[in-house]
Structure 1
Amino acid sequence: MPHADNLILTLVSGFVLAFAFGMLANRLKLSPLVGYLVAGVVVGPYTIGFVADTELAPQLAEIGVILLMFGVGLHFSLADLMRVRRIAIPGALAQITVATGLGWGMGRLMGMDDLEAVLMGFALSVASTVVLLRALEERKQVKAEVGRIAMGWLIVEDLVIVLALVVLPLLVAGAGEAASVVAMGQSIGWTLMKVAFFVVFMLVVGTRVLPWLLIRIAHTRSRELFTLGVLAIALGIAWLAYQLFHSFALGAFLAGLVLNSSPLGHNAAERSLPLRDAFAVLFFVSVGMLFDPTILLREPLAVLGVLGIVIVGKSIAALGITTLFKLDRATSLTVAAALAQIGEFSFILAALSVSLGGMSQETHDLILAAALLSISLNPFVFAMIDRLGARPKPPANGSPEAIALAKEEAAAPNPATA
Structure 2
Amino acid sequence: MTPADLADHAANVADHADSLILTLVGGFVLAFVFGMIANRLRLSPLVGYLVAGIVVGPHTAGFVADQELAPQLAEIGVILLMFGVGLHFSLADLMKVRKIAIPGAIVQIGAATVLGWGLGRLMGMSDLEATLMGFALSVASTVVLLRALEERKQVKGDVGRIAMGWLIVEDLVIVIALVVLPLLVIQPGETLNGADLAGSIGWTLFKVAGFTAIMLVVGAKVLPWVLVRIAHTKSRELFTLGVLAIALGIAWVAYALFHSFALGAFLAGLVLNSSPLGHNAAERSLPLRDAFAVLFFVSVGMLFDPSILVREPLAVLGVLSIVIVGKSIAAIAITTAFKLDKATSLTVAASLAQIGEFSFILAALSVKLGGMSQGTHDLILAAALLSISLNPFVFAFIDRIGAKPKPPAAKEPTPVTALI
Same fold (TM over 0.5): yes
User: Which is higher, the Rg of structure 1 or of structure 2?
Assistant: 2
8 Å CA contact 2:75, 2:296 repeated in 1: yes
Are positions 1:262 and 2:275 aligned together? Answer: yes
- What is the number of residues matched between the two proteins? 399
Are positions 1:22 and 2:20 aligned together? Answer: no
Of the three residues 242, 266, 269, the one matched with 1:229 is 242
Partners of 2:157 and 2:53 lie apart in 1 by 35
Structure 1 residues 316 and 290, CA gap change in structure 2 (3 angstroms): same
Judge which range, 369-378 or 167-176, deviates more. 167-176
Partners of 1:199 and 1:27 lie apart in 2 by 43
Deviation at 1:394, TM superposition (A): 1.7
Q: Which residue of 1 aligns with 2:177?
A: 164
8 Å CA contact 1:22, 1:32 repeated in 2: yes
Q: Which residue of 2 aligns with 1:48?
A: 61
Partners of 1:280 and 1:322 lie apart in 2 by 32
User: 1:165-314 counterparts in 2 under 5 A?
Assistant: 165-173=178-186, 177-314=190-327
Q: Which residue of 2 aligns with 1:409?
A: none
CA deviation string 1:109-151 (max 9, x = no partner) = 0000100000000000000000000000000000000000000
8 Å CA contact 2:187, 2:370 repeated in 1: no
Equivalent residue letter for 1:117: A
* TM-score computed with the length of structure 1 as normaliser: 0.94
Of the three residues 91, 95, 105, the one matched with 2:118 is 105
Secondary structure, counterpart of 1:376 in structure 2 = helix
Partners of 1:41 and 1:127 lie apart in 2 by 22
Structure 1 residues 114 and 28, CA gap change in structure 2 (3 angstroms): same
Q: Which residue of 2 aligns with 1:32?
A: 45
Of the three residues 352, 369, 380, the one matched with 2:365 is 352
Deviation at 1:173, TM superposition (A): 2.8
Secondary structure, counterpart of 1:173 in structure 2 = coil
Equivalent residue letter for 1:105: G
CA deviation string 1:225-252 (max 9, x = no partner) = 0000000000000000001111000000
Are positions 1:325 and 2:338 aligned together? Answer: yes
Deviation at 1:395, TM superposition (A): 2.4
Q: Which residue of 2 aligns with 1:87?
A: 100
Unaligned segments of structure 2, at least 5 residues: 1-11, 413-420
8 Å CA contact 1:241, 1:247 repeated in 2: yes
Unaligned segments of structure 1, at least 5 residues: 400-418
Equivalent residue letter for 1:231: L
Deviation at 1:174, TM superposition (A): 7.3
RMSD after superposition: 1.0
Partners of 1:49 and 1:202 lie apart in 2 by 47
8 Å CA contact 2:363, 2:380 repeated in 1: yes
The share of aligned pairs that are identical, in percent, is: 84
CA deviation string 1:199-256 (max 9, x = no partner) = 0000000000000000000000000000000000000000000011110000000000
Secondary structure, counterpart of 1:238 in structure 2 = helix
Deviation at 1:176, TM superposition (A): 7.1
CA deviation string 1:136-182 (max 9, x = no partner) = 00000000000000000000000000000000000113797331000
Once superposed, which parts of structure 1, at least 4 consecutive aligned residues long, lie more than 6 Å away?
none
Partners of 1:128 and 1:174 lie apart in 2 by 30
Equivalent residue letter for 1:393: K
Equivalent residue letter for 2:361: I
Equivalent residue letter for 2:406: K
Partners of 2:241 and 2:63 lie apart in 1 by 34
